[in-house]
Amino acid sequence: MTAAMQEAVIIKGVGGFYYARTQHGEVWVLRAKGIFRRQHITPVVGDRIRFIPSEDSSQGWIEEILPRQNTLIRPPVANIGHLIFVLAPEPLPDMILLDTMLVMAQEQGIPVVIVLNKIDLDPSLADTIRAQYAKAGAPILAVSAKTGQGLHQLAKVLLDGICCFAGQSGVGKSTLLSAITGLTLQAGEISRKIARGKNTTRHAELLVKDGFQVLDTAGFSLLSLWENMEPVALQDYYPEFAPYRGQCRFQPCYHLSEPDCAVLGAMEAGELSRERVARYHQLLTKAKEAWRNRYE
């Protein structure tokens, strides 16, 4: 008699073994059947899988990987519910990093929540960010890990599916996470070096506690984003540009300096943030460069 199939989430992968957690909190050590290898499918952290437990141990075989909602490849993870992008009055906000993350997340269909931490230091940052990101498709939460302001709302987001943190070093990601969940983030931030093309072998782990599921990584390599994006598609990941689609004189239009461009017109009319559009131009340059060099 074969045991009944069970469902679990992969929390870690080590040397061909996958640690999978059932909803009852049991952790099984599983291996992937040869069929996955033949199909070039590797189970990743966050995957929801079905497995048949062996009857005499806590081992077993992964029989099925359920369809993924989204995937990121460096580190490899799947089924992220929210990306929590943290910024603060200090260190000085890196808005290009935020905009790049928003593009990457949009491209993968991952909802982003922008978290302004250390609001105790300078409440005016919230106004600046709201002015630039009100139409960018991501809710904005002003919080302080120090005073506790807004942590209740952030906790609600963290309880909704798998979450991962992103943002510069020093903005307070670890402090926020441990204040809310008691969990500890791995050191290591998203780095410009990684973004420029160095490979990283780091693997993610899913931390689970009291209904929270958080990836221990504090960032993702953004390299893969530019490797695969046609520059003209970049604008599609700016939700605030959508109302002007098809209204420019030239088609396609990069909204760079073309005459009768509806996006630039909206910016001049104050409907779109000048700063966001200027950074879109910077990212466009980057996307074009990466696209030209993609076969190198």
- Return residues touching ligand GDP (CB under 6 A): 117-118, 120-121, 144-146, 169-175
Considering beta carbons, is residue 118 or 276 the nearer one to Mg ion? Answer: 118
| Residue 74 contact among Mg ion, Zn ion, ligand GDP, none, beta carbon within 5 to 8 Å by kind | none
Give the per-residue SS3 of the chain.
CCCCCEEEEEEEEECCEEEEECCCCCEEEEEECHHHHHCCCCCCECCEEEEEECCCCCEEEEEEECCCCCEEECCEEECEEEEEEEECCCCCCCHHHHHHHHHHHHHHCCCEEEEECCCCCCCHHHHHHHHHHCCCCCCEEECCCCCCCCHHHHHHHHCCCEEEEECCCCCCHHHHHHHHHCCCCCCCECCHHHHHCCCCCCCCCEEEECCEEEECCECCCCHHHHHCCCHHHHHHHCHHHHHHCCCCCCCCCCCCCCCCCHHHHHHHCCCCCHHHHHHHHHHHHHHHHHHHCCCC
Looking at residues 224 to 283 of the shown chain, list those that interact with Zn ion (rule: CB under 5 A).
248, 253, 255, 261, 263
Considering beta carbons, is residue 123 or 197 the nearer one to ligand GDP? Answer: 123
Considering beta carbons, is residue 174 or 235 the nearer one to ligand GDP? Answer: 174
Asked if omega into 111 is within 30° of 0 (cis), the reply is no
* Minimum distance from residue 246 beta carbon to Zn ion (Å): 10
* Minimum distance from residue 143 beta carbon to ligand GDP (Å): 7
Considering beta carbons, is residue 74 or 255 the nearer one to Zn ion? Answer: 255
* Minimum distance from residue 165 beta carbon to ligand GDP (Å): 8
Looking at residues 166 to 205 of the shown chain, list those that interact with Mg ion (rule: CB under 5 A).
174
Considering beta carbons, is residue 87 or 103 the nearer one to Zn ion? Answer: 103
* Minimum distance from residue 282 beta carbon to ligand GDP (Å): 24
CA 90 to chain centre: 22
Considering beta carbons, is residue 137 or 170 the nearer one to Mg ion? Answer: 170
**What CA–CA distances, in Å, run from 166 to 113, 173, 216, 238, 289?**
10, 8, 11, 19, 25
| Residue 255 contact among Mg ion, Zn ion, ligand GDP, none, beta carbon within 5 to 8 Å by kind | Zn ion
* Minimum distance from residue 228 beta carbon to Zn ion (Å): 23
* Minimum distance from residue 94 beta carbon to Mg ion (Å): 15
Considering beta carbons, is residue 85 or 280 the nearer one to Zn ion? Answer: 280
| Residue 63 contact among Mg ion, Zn ion, ligand GDP, none, beta carbon within 5 to 8 Å by kind | none
* Minimum distance from residue 108 beta carbon to ligand GDP (Å): 22
Q: Which residues bind Mg ion (CB under 5 A)?
A: 174
Q: Which residues contact Zn ion (rule: CB under 5 A)?
A: 248, 253, 255, 261, 263
